[in-house]
Amino acid sequence: MNEGARVAPRCSDDLAPAAALFRGLADPTRLAILRRLADGELRVVDLTGELGLAQSTVSAHLACLRDCGLVAGRPEGRQMFYALARPELLDLLRAAEHLLAATGEAVALCPAYGCATEDNR
């Protein structure tokens, strides 16, 4: 095996769903979509305008969130309106914001998952 390759950790049966949930939330674009949907229903065209992303990109992320059961679509004529499928998701996102505030920059500077900045490259 390639020494630089990352091996996916094995999840016990009781932790696998939680790990899958957090992998689904691990993308900044998906989090931005969820943040906007927290304020109410939006169409793909609304999200593309607000996020400055291509329609195909937004649609792919919405499909992921829908497959995870986090977002639901409601057809109206030829349009699809997307909304959060579970209100509990707002509680999870708020809890994450509180945790991030409490940990300061520790999570952002994590060598495995943090974001590179000018200071820590």
Closest CA to 38 of 77, 2, 91: 91
Tell me whether residue 4 is in a domain: no
Question: Per-residue confidence at 42, pLDDT binned at 50, 70, 90?
Answer: very high
> Do both 26 and 74 map to the same domain?
yes
Domain with 61, as residue range(s), is 16-86
Domain count, the chain: 2
> Do both 43 and 78 map to the same domain?
yes
Give me the chain's average pLDDT, please. 85
Question: Per-residue confidence at 14, pLDDT binned at 50, 70, 90?
Answer: confident
Please state, for a pLDDT cut of 70, what percent of the chain lies above it.
84
Q: Which residue has the higher pLDDT, 88 or 13?
A: 88
Amino acid making up residue 72: A
Hey, is 13 helix, strand or coil? coil
Q: Can you say how many angstroms the Cα of residue 30 is from the centroid of all Cα atoms in its chain?
A: 3
> Do both 73 and 110 map to the same domain?
no
Tell me whether residue 9 is in a domain: no
Res 20: pLDDT: 87
Mean pLDDT of 27-40: 94
> Do both 30 and 61 map to the same domain?
yes
CATH assignment of the domain containing 42? 1.10.10.10
Res 120: pLDDT: 45
Query: Tokens at residue 67, please?
Result: 């497959």
Tracing tokens 């998952």 back to the chain, one arrives at 113
Hey, is 76 helix, strand or coil? strand
pLDDT tens, residue by residue, 91-115: 999 998 888 888 877 777 777 777 6
3-state secondary structure 78-99: CEEEEEECCCHHHHHHHHHHHH
**C-alpha to C-alpha distance for 71 and 48, rounded to whole angstroms:** 16
Hey, is 74 helix, strand or coil? strand
Q: What is the value of pTM for the model shown? A: 0.77
Determine which helix (DSSP H) or strand (DSSP E) holds 73, and give its type and residue range.
strand 71-76
Q: Which residue has the higher pLDDT, 12 or 57?
A: 57
